[in-house]
Structure 1
Amino acid sequence: MEISEEHIFLNIYVINKKDALKKIAEFAETAGVVTSKKAYYKGLLQREKEVTTGFGNGFSIPHAKLKEVVKPAIFIVKFTNGIDWKALDRQQVNVAIALAIPERDAEVEHLKLLSQISRRLMHDDFCDQLMRSTTKQEIIDLFKTV
């Protein structure tokens, strides 16, 4: 799984989960990953209505599978403040690892990426290092080593 420096956002202030999802959608449109930030935002919001993507330990994995997604991508967003994400462990979210999946690649790509990220987030060392990271390069290196 390759993480692009252009898909990493540090020190992002948002008010709540909806605001966080809007920011992620804006980042995705600016990066040319989606053709419509509105459609991606709606997809992320719809997924949250089904069940929270708050993974626990301060992480969330918001994701959407849409025809408006041009290419699969992962975005890492570190917030300046904790967000009430309705996470399973009731902890606030400090880092979102967002996925944008093209509808045509949905099942295989979606499950593959979710599985890879979920496995990494089960390792305390990985989580601690990601939480402590302060540069984009540290995050890129972390995803390369695990």
Structure 2
Amino acid sequence: MDIWEVLNVKNIKLNMSAKSKEEAIEELTDLLVQDGAVINKDEFIRDVWLREEQGSTGFENHIAIPHGKSSGVAHTALAIGRTQHDIPWETMDGSDVRCIILFAVRLADQNTTHIRLLSHVSGSLADEDIIAKLLVETHPQRIIELLNSEAEDQTV
């Protein structure tokens, strides 16, 4: 599955008002509800928190990748947000979070599709240049291109 298939500019918010992990997940979930990817917000958010309980989804370099595999998801999608405030989040390097990549995964995609998407995004986040651009890029379309170019590099 290609990044273009699960991420569109409507699901990227570069000026989030969230000041906490809870607010960030709620704000990004609202984008996915508006887009029709999430059809049961409460159920999806519950599943995101169940996943968080298994271990933090904080990455490093100010990035978090929370995700929920849920029957509240109509079609697998991503939402990306950047906050105006550092958000406390358990991360691998102890950094606060400024960029959140929320995965909404429908149950039918919970194995191969989810793993492939996570692999593509993690591959992108392994590149410090991409992370630096992700934290400052002002055009949502360019963020999609950043993540997609890395995904294409991995399949070559």
TM over 0.5: yes
Spell out structure 1 runs of 4+ moving beyond 4 A.
Answer: none
What is the rounded CA distance, in whole Å, between the counterparts of 1:81 and 1:15 in structure 2?
Answer: 6
Report if the CA contact (8 A) 2:79-2:101 is conserved.
yes
Computed over aligned residues only, the root mean square deviation of the Cα atoms, in angstroms, reads 1.1
Between stretches 89-98 and 136-145, larger displacement belongs to 136-145
Match of 1:125 in 2: 129
Q: 1:27 aligns with which of 31, 39, 47?
A: 31
What TM-score does the superposition give when structure 1 sets the normalisation length?
Answer: 0.95
Match of 2:50 in 1: 46
Q: Identity of aligned pairs, percent?
A: 28
Match of 2:91 in 1: 87
What is the rounded CA distance, in whole Å, between the counterparts of 1:130 and 1:24 in structure 2?
Answer: 16
Pairwise mapping of residues 102-117 of structure 1 onto structure 2 (< 5 A)? Answer: 102-117=106-121
Shift of 1:96: 0.6
Listed one character per residue, the Cα deviations across residues 33-92 of structure 1 (whole Å, up to 9, x for unaligned) are 011111111111111111000011100101011111111111111111111111121100
Letter in 2 for 1:123: D
Listed one character per residue, the Cα deviations across residues 106-129 of structure 1 (whole Å, up to 9, x for unaligned) are 111111111111111000111011
What TM-score does the superposition give when structure 2 sets the normalisation length?
Answer: 0.89
Gaps of 5+ in 2: 151-156
Report if the CA contact (8 A) 1:25-1:38 is conserved.
no
Q: 1:136 aligns with which of 125, 130, 140?
A: 140
Letter in 2 for 1:14: A
Letter in 2 for 1:9: K
Aligned positions, number? 146
Shift of 1:138: 2.2
Report if the CA contact (8 A) 1:54-1:88 is conserved.
yes
